[in-house]
Structure 1
């Protein structure tokens, strides 16, 4: 009977020791998993930054003009829209190669500060949607691209008190959102 009690007592001391012995290993595995996730997140952030810099540059080089106060494209945008489509296809390849999933391309429309802010916001969204429709018609999947109107919220030129500054603010930008 004493031997049985002694065995039970020893086993009660041994169980926590085994548990503690496994705990550091589990912690090490968890830390390695966390480090891998952090490295993956850092890699995705680097890809996102690189892709967005290229998309911003391509959008600036390939700006299409709209008829004043409308969402109607001026003539002569065909090649610019082809260039933008190619930029999105290249960006998609980079994102896919980097293992990035669940992303959207965002086309944001912008206006100058002239006129009514609410009307400018609505107009900028319509213009962004025109660009999205053009890109979709050229092969960009509709489920991967969205249009957003910013109005005059994010002016490049402040104050936009000259025709040249106003023209710079009437634009669209493209970026990827993870």
Structure 2
């Protein structure tokens, strides 16, 4: 990149410098626009909040009165009291800096449930069931086939077949 910049600085066209160095002109332009690490740090704005003001706003946000409220609710409640500490965006910015932008209420933590696992090491210990719709002899008639299966041997240990109740969504 230094060779490209030296060539363009000496008066060569960007096209010639790109051809000689093998660097694409778009890459060189992007690199030229990228801020250098030695660039001066961002200047501090005159109306920026000081550390004491930020701590005061954080203390208000974390107070017992407002610990459960969102910044918009805190803002309106403080305005009703005649107090202005900062805008809603400022409150969110300060909360984000302190990693408090989340659900601020105390929530119950439920432990993860262990799904029960049924294991059969012999027949007639664990059964499974299924209901299947079967087409009848005439169009529009169906039967419900109830089946009970032993999961160890995979034998059908019980079954029943009953006429299906009419589906209300298929009525005319």
Give TM class, smaller chain.
under 0.3
| Greater Rg over alpha carbons, structure | 2
Higher-strand-fraction structure: 2
Higher-helix-fraction structure: 1
What TM-score, normalized to structure 1?
0.22
What TM-score, normalized to structure 2?
0.22
Larger RCO (CA within 8 A; separation ≥ 6):
1
